[in-house]
Amino acid sequence: MKKGYTLIELMVCVAFVGIFCAIVLPFIFGKGGCHYQGRIVSRFTGQDLVLKLPPDCDKVLSFSIGRDGEKDVLYQTKDGQYKVKTYSDWGVWQPSIKFERE
């Protein structure tokens, strides 16, 4: 039975933990760009899920969670238009919808 770890095994373990902390954690808890925006992490950590509103948002009219965890925010812009912004769990391909009168 083995009593301890070799230096190589410890170095591999430290490297794995370092890579995990440097690459994976920013995607889960990151503040900008592509990061996890789902409710799973907030349920375990007790932290609020923060979604940045678009800069042209004047007033939020509704919020809904739909297919595959996507979150839709219907809002009125500062110039009176109505738009829907979709937030995905990973912050990638987040389209918006603009409403126009005929």
Q: What is the pLDDT of residues 42-83, one digit of tens each?
A: 667 777 777 788 899 999 999 888 777 778 889 999 999 999
Does the structure show a pLDDT above 60 at 88?
yes
Please tell me the predicted confidence (pLDDT) of residue 13: 80
Q: What is the pLDDT of residues 9-28, one digit of tens each?
A: 878 888 777 776 555 655 55
What's 75's DSSP letter?
Answer: E
Global confidence as pTM: 0.56
As beta bridge partners, residue 85 has: 73, 96
Please tell me the predicted confidence (pLDDT) of residue 76: 94
CA distances from 28 to 6, 52, 55, 100 (A): 32, 16, 23, 36
Does the structure show a pLDDT above 90 at 87?
no
Burial of residue 85 (number of CB atoms within 10 Å: 0-12, 13-18, 19+): buried
Instruction: Report the C-alpha gap between 32 and 40 in whole angstroms.
Output: 18
